[in-house]
Amino acid sequence: MNNEEALLISQRRDAIYEWVVSRFKFLMAEERVDDALCFADEYFEWLDPNQLDDEETLFFDANELKALYQELTQG
């Protein structure tokens, strides 16, 4: 992974984090507590400041994955 890709992934992760926090706060403000808790359950690692930086971000390049698949299946 080059620096440009790493920066892009970091920016996307930051955007997702901001959306998760914003959505949780919105649901709580709307008094949709059950929805907020279900949402928080799904994104627990993102909402927990003690785990946020330890959560891995997994990604793949579709073209690389396709090439690897073809290499492995076609010899």
Q: Where in the chain are the domains?
A: 3-74
CB contact at 8 A, 61 and 55: no
Tell me the CB-side half-sphere exposure of residue 71, using CA atoms within 13 A. 6
Q: How many helices (H) and strands (E) does the chain have?
A: 4, 0
- Give the C-alpha separation, 73 to 37, whole Å: 44
Among 11-15, 28-32, 71-75, the range with the most confident prediction by mean pLDDT is 28-32
Determine if the pTM surpasses 0.75.
no
Residue-wise pLDDT for 30-58, tens only, equals: 999 999 999 999 988 888 878 777 767 77
- Residue 72 pLDDT level (bands cut at 50, 70, 90): very high
